[in-house]
Amino acid sequence: MSSIPVPQTAKRPRTGPSSISAPSAAAGPSRLREPGTRAASASRVGGLASSMGASTRSATAAAAASTTAASRRAGATVPRAPMGNATNRTVTSARTVVSAKPGLTGAGKPVSSVRRTVSSASSANGIDVEPSRMDAMESRLSSMQELFDLERQKTEEKWNKERTERLAQEEKVRQLEEDLLEQRKLASSRQEEIKRRRTLADDELLQLNAKHAREKRMLEEELDRERQTVSALKSTLSQQSTSHLTMESTNSALRAQVTVLQTEVEQLKAKIASMEGDVQAAKEYSLHLETELREAESLRRKLHNEVQELRGNIRVFARVRPTTQNDANNGAEALATIRFPNEREATQIEILAAGESATGTVTMKNHLFTFDRIFQPSATQADVFEEIAHLTQSVLDGYNTSIFAYGQTGSGKTHTLEGAPTSITSADPSSDDGAGLIPRAVQMLWSTAESLKDKGWKYDFEGQMLEIYLDNINDLLGKAEVDKGKHEIKHDKGRTTVSDTVVVPLETPAEVFKLLEKAKRRRQVAATLMNERSSRSHSVFMLRVRGTNATTMEACDAVLSLVDLAGSERLANSGSGADPVRLKEAQSINKSLSSLSDVISALGQNKGANHVPYRNSTLTWLLKNSLGGNSKTLMLLALSPMAAHLNESLCSLRFATKVNSTTIGTAKAVKTITA
């Protein structure tokens, strides 16, 4: 009686939340019942009551009563034991305790009220129950209530899960029924299609039978024809047997001939193998020669430019033009006395002119001038170009080269540079006797550049055409008819550039000739007393040449400048004094030529400390690198053979002599080593 054993069901571990799945929200109460589960719960409650012993009959009766009440609520049947009046009253009181939730009794009453109820029941029956036993009973009752609730929750979750599965199975069955109905429809349509095809097949079979009958008749007819052909072939075969014997004899002869030819082929193969060896040796020798050729080309460039340097970095050529119809129209028919003392060397020119002594006596005086080359009136354009061709070659070698024509109006400067009006558009200037230096030089540059491709050189050309009119630069290739822009001349490391001018890439000589023709039409020209269409400005044609050699990893960059200077005659001879515009043009021309004379005089002193007045005119500033730089320069002096122009010719000769005595620095090639 002192100790009451605790039932094992009270010590069972509770199932965690993870082992109990929440019931589905959509699932309603289950229609299934599980009596076995509730019966098991009732049996556990019965075991608890029996363990309490006989001394606690009233409490056992109360527990049994609560178990009976719980079983009744769950729908299970629990056998009843006969009880007395006192026992019934106790059980009734215990039912009140069990009907509450864990920790509560009745309609939310606390456990203490249960204790009072049990105490009162015990007092009524004359049973004295200790408080500790009451607490134990209360804890057991609470554990039992928790077990009941847990079993109820598990049962409801299981019922909900089964209902959800049942609904899913019903949905699956419905879907299968729909699929079956669709398959039946497809089978029906396929069956109809098969029937239709069977009908078509029967029709096609009939057609094939008819076609087969026709083909059979045709084949029988063809067989008859073939039999006739075979008969004819047999007769032909008998006729060809004799020919066959003849062909066999011929075949034997041909076989013998083939044997001889095969022997010859073998000999030729051996000869070809020997020749291939010779070709390989020739290739190796050719490669060796190409290497030597490149070395020889480099040596040629060096020696060629050394020869040009020995001749002088500023060279002067003089050319006396022949008489023209224009001379007779101007009333200047008398020829001046011009002699060429040494025609073989052609380096001297002598002019007989009247001179006045200190006493005022007029006497004839000989004026002898010596230059690098003198061309008589009989000299052709080809003769002149032959002398300057070596100088033009230096452009491809990387040397800046400048050629400018100097002389009075009508002396033949433009004709020497450009040639006849139609020669500049000639397809082959070398075959045109009237072609000038510019078209010939352009043609030679392109031809030489093409021949140097075998040595690994590739050249690119660019051109621009400028005009100096009234000491201002006009771009003759610009878009506007009259160039009003301000152009700035810049010198950087031997290279002269003019800002805001058009530079045109050139692919062929024909493009150069089109460029020159366009520039020629836009030059400022006007009529003077000495020439019907005299240029009143200086024109400068600049051809830039860039070359690269992928074999030797060399590169060069040079410019060929061809300058056609304006007429150098005095105002009295040109007749420009009466026209203010022509007077201004003549003054500007003479000023620029005077500045050119001053620059050459300063360079002729050959003293580095002296100031060279390049900036005195736009012409001298543009030609700075052509005169005092490291370029090669040629001055071509044009002379008139007429006696009326003798004084102007003497002035030009004296100016040319001053240029010829000028010494500048050694020309240097503009070359780089490419990476």
Binding residue numbers for ATP: 407-414
Q: DSSP label at 412?
A: S
Q: At CB < 8 A and 24+ separation, what contacts does 491-498 make?
A: 491/624, 491/625, 494/400, 494/625, 494/629, 494/630, 494/631, 494/668, 494/670, 495/557, 495/559, 495/625, 495/670, 496/559, 496/622, 496/624, 496/625, 498/464, 498/466, 498/473, 498/622
Cβ-Cβ contacts under 8 Å for 516 (sequence gap 6 or more): 418, 424, 438, 465, 541
**CA torsion 112→115→121→123, rounded to 10°?**
-110
Distance from C-alpha of 225 to C-alpha of 220, rounded to nearest angstrom = 9
**Residue spans of alpha helices (H) in 312-377:** 325-329
Would you say 519 and 539 are in contact if contact means Cβ atoms under 8 Å apart?
Answer: yes
- Rg of the Cα atoms in the chain: 65
Phi-psi region of 96 (alpha: psi -120 to 50; beta: other; left: phi over 0): alpha
DSSP 3-state assignment of 495?
Answer: strand
What are 280's two structure tokens? 């390989």
Give me the helix-helix angle, 35-51 and 131-311, nearest 10°.
130
Q: Tokens 């002379």: give the residue.
A: 639
Distance from C-alpha of 308 to C-alpha of 390, rounded to nearest angstrom = 8
Cβ-Cβ contacts under 8 Å for 321 (sequence gap 6 or more): 377, 411, 412, 415, 638, 639, 640, 641
Distance from C-alpha of 628 to C-alpha of 664, rounded to nearest angstrom = 6
Name the binding residues.
407-414
Q: Which amino acid is at 269?
A: K
Distance from C-alpha of 312 to C-alpha of 633, rounded to nearest angstrom = 9
Would you say 367 and 651 are in contact if contact means Cβ atoms under 8 Å apart?
Answer: no
Distance from C-alpha of 234 to C-alpha of 296, rounded to nearest angstrom = 81
DSSP 3-state assignment of 642?
Answer: strand
